[in-house]
Amino acid sequence: MLKPQHAAREPTNELRWWQEKSVWILLLLGFSAGVPYFLIFGTLSLWLLEAGVERSAVTFFSWAVLGYSFKFVWAPLVDRLPLPLLTKLFGRRRGWLLLAQGTVIFSIMLMASIDPANSLSWMARGAVLLGFAAATQDIVIDAYRIEIAEPRLQAMLSSTYVAGYRVGMIMAGAVALSLAQELGSSQGAYSYEAWRLTYIIMAAVMGVGVLTTLVIKEPNVDTSIGEQYQTGDYVLFFVVFLFSILALVLVYSYFPQTPNLFSELTQKFFAFFYGIARMMLSILAAYLTAKCCSALGLVNPELVRESYVDPISDFLKRYGKLAIWVLLLVGLYRISDIVMGVITNIFYAEMGYTKKEIASITKVFGILVTIFGAFMGGLLAIRIGVMRALMFGAVLVAVTNLLFMWLAQIDGAHTYFEFSIPLWFTHIDVALPRELFIVIVMDNLAQGFAIAAFIGWLSALTNVSFTATQYAIFSSLMTLIPKLIGGYSGTLVESVGYSNFFLFASALGIPVIALIYYLQKHLEFKTAKVKT
């Protein structure tokens, strides 16, 4: 049995983390991962609105990011499937990474070639392809991060990855929107050419990730996994996978829409459970399709077992009776801040803050403070261990959420920071609401710290024989429960008011703290950073 991760630390290295090449590699790969997400989720929405697309149709495009929530479905392919030529030339991880990045660039260029005012359906196809490619890139980067460094460095690598990711989001968000505006497109004066050039530039920016992949080394792990299978086994495995996904899409698409049977409040709860039933039936259809193909002998059963069954069996075997508590912590750790995040922008607006004030603090100062918090989380995890850093992050998030109760009591009585930013030829006068600034800075600092510690802990849970699959399952689970509960944020606010809702959101952190305390005493890290 391996020692707990927090016991394995070398104080002399914590001051020289910047000398680790892996830290800077993850900064650049994190940037590459952050760019495509906003090009689907945020920036694209404004492009569609300027093009005159109805708001109801715009919101459907958010489904393009569903790949991030269900990436565990095809993560086993990334772990097991060798790519023709690419795997031989670059290795298992770098080959998949180049394929994913190439597909991301192709998807962005495809979207750039389409005017949504004339061909919305093709734009939707491009967005879905981009979501799938970007989620695949995330799968490979997560696996690469875990495989290139020992457990004690994972929190630091997580910090630089988060930092790079946030900078990538700024590039695809604030910078892309400014580019589109400078090139001549705005609300009421739509220019397809401006958006086309903006997306072409964003495709070029992805070259950072491609160049990084070309110069880095393949992780030094066992690459003989799956060599006993023939090329035909992998081809059939992939075909059966596509059939299963097709079955899922068809059942979900043609399943009846939510019937309107109840009053407004009851209907919301009914729609929620109806949506879950719809998705579960779609997943069941995919499973039965794969099962039938396997029964007909269309796929090698041993390959299926190694790809989907063994990663789960390995985790359960290593953690035994503690597995359920580990999974509960994975699913609940971020519940407090995610449930809060669903409603915060609406809260800011209803407190009387302008869009400009909200954007300037959350998109600039908020992101910078998140990056700083992530670095602090990584450094502290090296010093005191991941589990202790995890506890500190959970307490910090729960406490800072209480600041929103204070903000809710201000009720329009805003005070401002006023200062000037000197430039070479002029200066910019800035006035920021003091209370909003304090709350967002503290909240983002806590989030950055907790996220870095949490990703480091998740990384330590994985076995390098199933890195992509196990981490994809963990990363999907960590947002599933919070997002389900977050869907009720608006309903809760309407029922109990903002102050009581924020108290409730903060209290959600109490079971998380209790879980960490329990696991600190009983969990001895069974990280499989060795060949198995």
Q: Worst-scoring range by mean pLDDT, 24-28, 51-55, 131-135, 223-227? A: 223-227
Of 299, 333, 349, the residue that ends a domain is: 299
Q: Determine the pLDDT at residue 205.
A: 95
Q: How far apart are CA 239 and CA 54, in angstroms?
A: 37
> Average pLDDT over the chain, rounded to whole?
81
Q: Are residues 401 and 268 in the same domain?
A: no
The CATH number of residue 386's host domain is 1.20.1250.20
Q: Are residues 212 and 323 in the same domain?
A: yes
Q: Are residues 326 and 190 in the same domain?
A: yes
Rounded percentage of the chain residues whose pLDDT exceeds 90: 23
Q: Are residues 22 and 129 in the same domain?
A: yes
Tokens of 125: 């196809």
Question: Residue 380: pLDDT above 80?
Answer: yes
Q: Determine the pLDDT at residue 469.
A: 82
Q: Are residues 456 and 511 in the same domain?
A: yes
Amino acid at the residue 331? G
The pTM score is 0.75
| 530 falls within a domain | no
Residue 257 lies in domain: 230-299
Q: Are residues 253 and 355 in the same domain?
A: no
Residue-wise pLDDT tens digits, 230-243 = 777 778 888 888 88
Q: Determine the pLDDT at residue 531.
A: 37
Q: How many domains does the chain have?
A: 2
**Residue range 350-364: mean pLDDT, rounded:** 75
Crossing angle for the helix pair 120-148 and 92-112, nearest 10 degrees? 160
Do 51 and 190 touch, CB atoms closer than 8 A?
Answer: yes
Q: Which residue has the higher pLDDT, 151 or 159?
A: 159
Q: Are residues 335 and 454 in the same domain?
A: yes
Residue-wise pLDDT tens digits, 509-520 = 999 999 999 998
Q: Are residues 234 and 214 in the same domain?
A: no
Of 279, 299, 319, the residue that ends a domain is: 299
Q: Determine the pLDDT at residue 216.
A: 92
| 529 falls within a domain | no
**Residue range 218-241: mean pLDDT, rounded:** 73
| 462 falls within a domain | yes
Number of residues assigned to the chain = 532
Q: Determine the pLDDT at residue 532.
A: 36
CA proximity to 231, closest of 82, 100, 85:
82
Q: Determine the pLDDT at residue 397.
A: 92
Q: Are residues 88 and 136 in the same domain?
A: yes
Residue-wise pLDDT tens digits, 383-432 = 888 888 999 999 999 999 899 998 888 766 677 766 665 655 555 556 67
Residue-wise pLDDT tens digits, 261-292 = 777 667 767 776 787 788 789 889 988 998 89
| 202 falls within a domain | yes
| 527 falls within a domain | no
Half-sphere exposure (CA, 13 Å, Cβ side) for 509? 25
Q: What SS3 state is found at 256?
A: coil
| 432 falls within a domain | yes
Q: Are residues 237 and 313 in the same domain?
A: no
Residue-wise pLDDT tens digits, 426-451 = 555 566 788 888 888 899 899 889 98
| 207 falls within a domain | yes
Residue-wise pLDDT tens digits, 299-332 = 888 888 888 888 889 989 988 889 999 999 998 9
pLDDT band at 489 (very low <50, low <70, confident <90, very high): confident
Of 299, 328, 351, the residue that ends a domain is: 299
Q: Determine the pLDDT at residue 344.
A: 80
Q: Are residues 138 and 207 in the same domain?
A: yes
Contacts of 331-334 with CB under 8 Å at 24 or more apart are: 331/477, 331/478, 331/480, 331/481, 332/481, 332/482, 332/508, 332/511, 332/512, 332/515, 333/390, 333/394, 333/450, 333/454, 333/478, 333/512, 334/450, 334/451, 334/454, 334/478, 334/479, 334/482
Q: Are residues 38 and 135 in the same domain?
A: yes
